[in-house]
A and B are shown apart, each in its own frame.
Chain A
Amino acid sequence: MSQTETVHDRIEQARTELTPTQIAVGLALAASLGFVLMFLQDPMVHDAMHTFRHGAGITCH
């Protein structure tokens, strides 16, 4: 890969490489993952991840 590339080139490259459908599917997946993360606030799931959250330095209680 050429070393004179810029971040802008990469964005353009992604635009030509990916079809609009692929981009839409990717964004939908990311949004749904975000939604699931919110859903994980549910006490049962939330508590089950308890030690992991402490270990990762992300705590909610």
Chain B
Amino acid sequence: MWPTLKRGVAAGGLVGVVYGLFTAVVVHPLTASLAEIAHHGGHGHDAGAHSHAVSETTTAVVSVGSGVLWGIFLGAALGLAYYFLEPAVPGSSATRPYVLAGAGFLTVSVGPWLALPPVAPGMEHQLAASTRLVLYAGLMLAGAVLAVLGTALYRRAGDRRRGVAAGLAPIVAAVAVVPLLTPTVVTAGGLSTDLVAAYRGLVVFGQAGLWFGLATAFRWLGPAPTNLDLTPHETQI
């Protein structure tokens, strides 16, 4: 258990530094600029409503540091989950970290985003924080259920290609349909639809990239993968 956890933390440290740089160079300047636009360009907002408890510089430093820690935290979680769940994760030793990271992304980010989409600065949530906290936990559970369901469908399908299609089907369907069914819980906050879409795209890209990087680093730090380690299940199909 210890070597796998160590490998996860190391992968998290490497990827966390890259994600911290991404936060410093892209996310922070963009978010801060959008906050400016939302404060000064939007109507009906009085300046006092959005005043922050700390300075701009502190926000920058702490946000970048949080990015690094976020990478380490998710890396540790991936390592620990990999130790326990590896036998249940489909794929070869080379692809399993990616499958598990995908399940992590689904649980930690995509699930909650189904009903609580990422918001740009200036956009306001309409639900109370306590309601959202409960909702967030429920949606994470929904994301995890989707991942388990996808794995089960993959195993039931006859061959690998059909298995991948069957496994991805409920996930793609949920991502396509659920956001349309759930009520809008955020206000536009004076930003254009295009800008909000672009900002959301960046957030999704950042988190997906983070998980992809974690899986890559985790695999790279582990033993060299061989072609002979297919599970009995996969040798059958």
Nearest to B28 among chain A residues (CB) is A51
Q: How far is the CA of A53 from the CA of B27 in the complex (A)?
A: 10
Nearest to A49 among chain B residues (CB) is B66
Which residues of A, 5-59, contact B by the 8 Å Cβ criterion?
5-7, 9-11, 13-14, 17-18, 43-59
- B198-237 interface bits toward A, Cβ cutoff 8 Å, 1 = contact, 0 = none: 0000111011000000000000000000000111100000
Cross-chain contact A54 with B59 (CB below 8 angstroms): no
**Interface SS of A by simple majority:** helix
Q: How far is the CA of A57 from the CA of B161 in the complex (A)?
A: 32
Q: For the complex, is B43 an interface residue (Cβ under 8 Å from A)? A: no
- B129-144 interface bits toward A, Cβ cutoff 8 Å, 1 = contact, 0 = none: 1001000000000000
- B20-64 interface bits toward A, Cβ cutoff 8 Å, 1 = contact, 0 = none: 000100011001100000000000000000001110001110111
Q: How far is the CA of A58 from the CA of B112 in the complex (A)?
A: 9
Q: How far is the CA of A57 from the CA of B205 in the complex (A)?
A: 11
Shortest CB distance B195–A (Å) = 13
Q: How many residues of chain A have a CB within 8 Å of chain B? A: 31
Q: How many residues of chain B have a CB within 8 Å of chain A? A: 46
Given A54-B120, A57-B203, are A48 and B84 neighbors across the interface (CB < 8 Å)?
Answer: no
Cross-chain contact A3 with B229 (CB below 8 angstroms): yes
Which residues of B, 2-33, contact A by the 8 Å Cβ criterion?
2, 23, 27-28, 31-32
Cross-chain contact A56 with B207 (CB below 8 angstroms): yes
Residues of A with C-beta under 8 A to B129: 60-61
Shortest CB distance B230–A (Å) = 8
Cross-chain contact B84 with A51 (CB below 8 angstroms): no
Nearest to A45 among chain B residues (CB) is B62
- A selection of 13 A-B contacts at a CB cut-off of 8 Å is A3-B232, A5-B87, A7-B84, A10-B83, A11-B84, A17-B1, A44-B54, A51-B31, A52-B64, A52-B66, A55-B206, A56-B206, A58-B112
